[in-house]
């Protein structure tokens, strides 16, 4: 969506005073194709089961074999929700770079869509006798974003920094843990990605 303001439009500052417009101002958004991803079909009536240990949930990257360092993708929006009727507190963290992951077998990368360069992998949760995964943070990997979900969900959250592709591209990993107690809790997630052109 693009907005066009010309000389005959009045623009005001934050206290309501007019700002003179001497040219044309065009505001727009990044061009590219949108793709979505969620975990609603993983198991009937069950989300990704978390506990009170910070664990990797999902990693996202651009396929290094089909992209270059000029290829970019943004997480436009994501939502995380749970089924605990406004009773829980969850901490989530986004890391950029590789994490050192241990525990359950690390899954293979999957494509978001057959025409997309964006790839993901969902780590084993804590359901039933599942082992789950833990991680350590190696040098060069940084915490880029974090938040708290109190109650049912967080929505409309996004990450402005785009991922780049190619052999030097980075990976984003979402990690979560329950803070208020140790009882296992189901969470569902939904993502909207934009591969920039």
Question: Does 39 or 41 have the greater pLDDT score?
Answer: 39
Cross-strand partners of 125: none
Q: Which pTM does this prediction carry?
A: 0.83
Dihedral, 99, 100, 102, 108 alpha carbons, nearest 10: 60
Contact 88, 47 (CB under 8 A): no
Name the pLDDT band for 15 (thresholds 50, 70, 90): confident
- Lookup: tokens for 171: 């990976």
How far apart are the C-alpha atoms of 82 and 152, rounded to whole Å?
5
Beta strands in the chain (DSSP E): 3-5, 11-12, 18-19, 25-27, 32-38, 48-50, 55-62, 72-82, 89-96, 100-103, 110-111, 118-122, 133-136, 142-150, 153-164, 172-178, 185-196
Mean pLDDT, residues 134-161: 87
User: At 187, phi and psi to the nearest 5?
Assistant: -130, 150
What span, in angstroms and rounded, lies between the C-alpha atoms of 101 and 129? 19
Q: Which residue has the higher pLDDT, 173 or 13?
A: 173
2-6, 55-59, 165-169, 179-183: least confidently modelled range:
2-6
């Amino acid at each position: 969506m693009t907005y066009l303001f010309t000389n005959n439009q009045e623009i005001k500052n934050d206290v309501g005073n007019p700002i003179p417009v001497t040219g044309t101002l065009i505001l727009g958004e990044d061009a590219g194709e949108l793709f979505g991803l969620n975990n609603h079909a993983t198991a009937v009536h069950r989300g990704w089961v978390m506990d009170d240990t910070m664990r990797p949930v999902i990693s996202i990257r651009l396929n290094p074999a089909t992209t270059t360092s000029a290829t970019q993708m943004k997480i436009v929006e994501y939502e995380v929700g749970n089924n605990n009727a406004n009773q829980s507190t969850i901490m989530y963290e986004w890391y950029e770079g590789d994490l050192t992951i241990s525990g359950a077998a690390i899954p293979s990368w999957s494509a978001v869509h057959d025409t997309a360069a964006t790839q993901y992998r969902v780590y084993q949760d804590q359901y039933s006798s599942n082992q789950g995964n833990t991680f350590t943070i190696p040098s060069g990997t940084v915490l880029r974003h974090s938040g708290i979900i109190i109650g049912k969900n967080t929505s409309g959250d996004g990450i402005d920094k785009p991922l780049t592709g190619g052999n030097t591209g980075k990976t984003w990993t979402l990690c979560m843990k329950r803070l208020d107690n140790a009882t296992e809790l189901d969470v569902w997630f939904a993502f909207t990605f934009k591969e920039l052109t």
